[in-house]
Amino acid sequence: MWAKLAIRLFFRELRRGELTVICAAIALAVMTVLTLSSVTDRIGQAILQKSNAFIAADRALASNHALPENYQEQAQNMGLKTARLTFFDTMLFANERMQLAAIKAASQAYPLKGELLIKRDFDAPEQAAKGGPEPGSVWLNESVMYSLDLAVGDSVELGAASFVVSAILSEEPDAPFNIFSGSRRVLLNEADIEKTQVIQPGSRVFYRQLYAGESDKVEAFYQLLKPQLAENQRWYGVKDRQSPISNSLERSERFLLLAGLLGIILAAVAIAVSAKRYCERQYDPVAMMKTLGGARSQIRNIYLLHLALVCGFSLALGLAAGYGLQYAAGNYMAANMDVQLPPASMRPWLSAVFIGVVCAVMFSIKPLLDLFDIPPLRVLRRNLGDRLLVSKIHLALSAFTVFALMWLFSGKIMITLILFLSSAALVLVLFILSKLIFGGGRKLGLSPGNSWSLAIASIQKRANANAVQLISFALAIKLLLFLIVLKNDMINDWQSQLPADAPNAFLVNITEEEKQPVSDYLADKDIEVSRFYPTIRGRVNAINGEPVAREVSLEDNEKKDEEARSGVGRELNLTWVSEMPSHNTLSGGQWFSEQSRGEVSVEQSMAERLDIKLGDSVSFLIGAQSFEAKVTSFREVNWSTLKPNFFMILSPDVLADFPATYIAAARIDEGESKAFTQLLRQYPTITAIDVDNFVDQIRSTIEQVSLAIGFVLAIVVVCGALVLISQVQASLGERMQEVVILRTLGARGQLIRHATLYEFLLLGLVAGVVAALISDIALFIVQRTLFELPGKLHPDIWLIGPLSGALFVAVLGYTMIARTLNKNTSGLLRKIM
């Protein structure tokens, strides 16, 4: 019997529109989570797949020792593509000249991702190569060609073998972005390694195996491989590689995660408000059932089944809407990102259903319990049960639910705490503020018949309801401001790292004698060039007289000194300048003065790694010579910029007697390439590193990330608008009653319209002020802790927040109420009866 009543109640209220608010709220939650999760999942996979070209594979396995071949056999059996790389340095000989070069010996399947670009002559266009060079031939980059005075078709000696130069190596997808190494590059077929006889016992050789395939197969292979990996073998992806692109990917992932969390908050607010409002609307029907003899258990069963039907219907509606939206979004993003978005995993669907059910149950359980306690006498005394309108238990349960869902969704406690606590602070501030405003309004003494007086009276009359509305409005505005400003700061930071005139080439190995002629030549050709940095390789040997640990070789049976202080483990590129580089920021101490002698500035993370304090003495070793310098400052370095960066910068006096070479960054425009080529031919010992294509790839990836972020932001904005709509809809019935009473008392339509508009303006203005303040504080914390951005305040949003909040809430609220205001009194009476 009760089951039939529950089903009849569901369909009747569905037809009458009574379920519109709560169904829309639950469907909104499901749609938001599904859309955001699916879109961010698909976009993240697409960006990662395209960025994998930077390592020429989806994953790579690297080691200083030969890797077992059975690893690749296992991967191939699991449906993965594989390739091998071997790296070593050796001398090249040609035309009675010699040149030290970095050799990369590749299997024929290389590269698995990205493209190899070659040229058949210096002036020939670039073309994509299918695989590497054939056995018996090599590809050299332009620097090596110039150094050895070679042309395509000439022969070059590499170890004990002679090879034909069959092409000029123009671009490698996984070329290391390191301006201090890898500049003289040679690509060799791995079948020719043995005949070169270069690799001997004790030779310094690096090995890499590349893997590519479907992400689940790659992950399954890694799980199989993981127990077999030795300590000297490293499994990594593009995000594990220290580069500007990996930093951009990590930031974009954090932002998309933030967007998903904010979507959950907005959807949860919509469900909490609508569930509470819907249960309040059932107080009278429940009272009627009890007067007609309905038992409490029967009423409980009816409404629990009713809730299950509402939840199931809303879930289906939300899943259908979310699927359609993410499908349309995927097609749009794929067209604009010029990449096929992979299908989303099942996780977004499971997350959407789970979050929808949890929100519907947790936000409805306390209002339902209150509903079951409604006394039968409410049919006579309509105020009975009003004391249940505000429940501390309901608020606490809702807050716990939101926090738990955010934590489960993100898996990151820090980001969850920042967003949750900032939202809780906003709620607390607004609760106190609403009490002051709504209580103080009675003392304003505004004249009767005035629109402002009527607006404030309306706010006072619905003090509790307006406090809830105010909090909901402010939460939506705060989250939108937070996301918009963070998105702009991220993109501005990326663009500042890669401006239109960013350097796209580096000149390395410039001698003291060549420095001035090279500078004059570049100036004469109007080629922009940065300052020339002197460089020399050196090792940190001791700190305050305490020796530091050095890198050990297991192959040579060396043992690590366990008692030695933690060290760098490798030589560093040292420089000395009197002025701090523009892309460095002083984080402690004082920069060098003209009187500085024997001082060093240390990069902040390196100082933390070595546990260096201001005033410490650092001992350096260059060759057989050692010297000391006093730490007088720490620097924060933006490693994402395409500029020379250094861990250690010494005062000019320290290395004045050491021979050094110079490096410089240059901007080579399209019409200046021939002049630049002529410079390299004139000075063949200078190495040029072309990063123009690398810069283009980074810009392309950043544009794709920006597009993805913009789309996700649009979804969150829509969700915020729907939250506001659900809030206004919750008060429509009460507003209809007010309009009827005011018209009966003779109030003009214009007076009522203006009062309604002013009411929403005041609510939006107060919500915007508090939202701007809280969001700016949260932004400051998030930028510094999660995005490695310079934390700063944004005074502009203190103006934009209140103005946009007032305008947005006023326009949206008034538009929704306009239909009610335009109805005649008899029509409104029929509507509310």
Q: What contacts 555, CB < 8 A, 6 or more positions away?
A: 64, 65, 202
Could you tell me whether strands 233-236 and 59-63 are parallel, antiparallel, or unpaired per DSSP bridges?
Answer: antiparallel
Q: 149-158, 387-396, 531-540: which has the minimum mean pLDDT?
A: 387-396
Q: Supply the pLDDT for residue 555.
A: 37
In the chain, the percentage of residues whose pLDDT exceeds 70 is 70
Side-chain-facing half-sphere of 795: CA atoms under 13 Å = 0
Q: State mean pLDDT over 467-490.
A: 72
Residue type, position 336, single letter: N
| Residue 90 reports pLDDT greater than 70 | yes
User: Are 331 and 324 within 8 A, CB to CB?
Assistant: no
Beta strands per DSSP E along 644-753 = 648-650, 661-667, 687-690
Q: Supply the pLDDT for residue 733.
A: 63
Tens-digit pLDDT profile for residues 519-545: 888 888 888 887 888 888 888 888 888
Q: 24-28, 184-188, 590-594: which has the minimum mean pLDDT?
A: 24-28
Q: Supply the pLDDT for residue 524.
A: 87
User: Are 667 and 499 within 8 A, CB to CB?
Assistant: no
Q: Supply the pLDDT for residue 444.
A: 46
| Residue 211 reports pLDDT greater than 80 | yes
Top pLDDT among 354 and 454 is at 354
Q: Supply the pLDDT for residue 468.
A: 65
Long-range contacts of 198-203 (CB under 8 A, 24+ apart): 198/88, 198/90, 198/103, 198/158, 198/159, 198/160, 199/86, 199/88, 202/555, 202/556, 203/88
- Cα–Cα distance measured from residue 77 to residue 79, given in angstroms and rounded to the nearest whole number: 6
Q: State mean pLDDT over 33-45.
A: 74
Confidence label for 830 from pLDDT (cuts 50, 70 and 90): low
Q: What contacts 613, CB < 8 A, 6 or more positions away?
A: 607, 631
Helix or strand run (H / E) with residue 831? helix 825-832
| Residue 716 reports pLDDT greater than 70 | no
| Residue 574 reports pLDDT greater than 80 | yes
User: Are 431 and 402 within 8 A, CB to CB?
Assistant: no
Q: Supply the pLDDT for residue 378.
A: 63
Could you tell me whether strands 59-63 and 155-158 are parallel, antiparallel, or unpaired per DSSP bridges?
Answer: unpaired
Running DSSP on this structure, what letter comes out for residue 342?
A: P
The CA radius of gyration of the chain, in Å to the nearest whole number, is 34
Burial per residue of 572-586, b for 16 or more beta-carbon CB atoms within 10 angstroms, e otherwise: bbbbbbeeebebbee
Top pLDDT among 365 and 825 is at 365
Q: State mean pLDDT over 413-425.
A: 79
Q: Supply the pLDDT for residue 572.
A: 83
Q: State the Cα angle at 429 between 426 and 435, rounded to 5°.
A: 135
Residue type, position 628, single letter: E
Confidence label for 162 from pLDDT (cuts 50, 70 and 90): very high
Task: Copy the structure tokens of residue 543.
Answer: 């700190």
- Give the closest residue to 501 by CA, choosing from 672, 674, 669: 669
Indicate the average pLDDT of the chain.
Answer: 76
Q: Supply the pLDDT for residue 798.
A: 82
Q: State mean pLDDT over 782-793.
A: 70
User: Are 540 and 576 within 8 A, CB to CB?
Assistant: no
Q: State mean pLDDT over 692-709.
A: 65
Q: Supply the pLDDT for residue 388.
A: 47
Q: Supply the pLDDT for residue 133.
A: 92
Top pLDDT among 819 and 387 is at 819
Task: Copy the structure tokens of residue 254.
Answer: 């954090």
Tens-digit pLDDT profile for residues 238-253: 665 545 555 555 666 6
Backbone dihedral angles phi then psi of residue 191, each to the nearest 5 degrees? -65, -20
Helix or strand run (H / E) with residue 93? strand 81-94
User: Are 72 and 207 within 8 A, CB to CB?
Assistant: no
Q: Supply the pLDDT for residue 601.
A: 93
Backbone dihedral angles phi then psi of residue 409, each to the nearest 5 degrees? -70, -40
Task: Copy the structure tokens of residue 145.
Answer: 């060609």
Confidence label for 788 from pLDDT (cuts 50, 70 and 90): low
Tens-digit pLDDT profile for residues 53-67: 778 888 899 988 888
| Residue 169 reports pLDDT greater than 80 | yes
Q: Supply the pLDDT for residue 389.
A: 47
Running DSSP on this structure, what letter comes out for residue 571?
A: -
Confidence label for 486 from pLDDT (cuts 50, 70 and 90): confident
- Quick count: other Cβ atoms within 10 Å of Cβ 793? 11
Top pLDDT among 441 and 85 is at 85
Q: State mean pLDDT over 646-671.
A: 84
Confidence label for 17 from pLDDT (cuts 50, 70 and 90): low
Q: Supply the pLDDT for residue 554.
A: 35
Task: Copy the structure tokens of residue 161.
Answer: 């073998």
Q: Is the dihedral of CA 547, 549, 553, 558 positive or negative?
A: positive
Q: How far is CA 366 from the centre of its chain?
A: 37
DSSP state letters, 620-636: EEETTEEEEEEEEEEEE
Q: Which among 117-131, 337-351, 802-816 has the top mean pLDDT?
A: 117-131
Task: Copy the structure tokens of residue 516.
Answer: 């001035």
Alpha helices in 786-794 (DSSP H): none
Residue owning tokens 């890797």? 67
- Cα–Cα distance measured from residue 50 to residue 291, given in angstroms and rounded to the nearest whole number: 67
- Give the closest residue to 768 by CA, choosing from 722, 801, 742: 801
Residues in the chain: 833
Q: Supply the pLDDT for residue 189.
A: 93
Top pLDDT among 786 and 626 is at 626
Q: Is the peptide bond before 448 cis (omega within 30 degrees of 0)?
A: no
Task: Copy the structure tokens of residue 488.
Answer: 């702009």
Q: State mean pLDDT over 612-641.
A: 86
| Residue 511 reports pLDDT greater than 90 | no
Task: Copy the structure tokens of residue 281.
Answer: 């609307």
Side-chain-facing half-sphere of 365: CA atoms under 13 Å = 12
- Cα–Cα distance measured from residue 269 to residue 261, given in angstroms and rounded to the nearest whole number: 12
- Quick count: other Cβ atoms within 10 Å of Cβ 192? 19
Query: Which residues pair with residue 527 across a beta bridge?
Result: none
Quick check: helix, strand or coil at residue 161?
strand
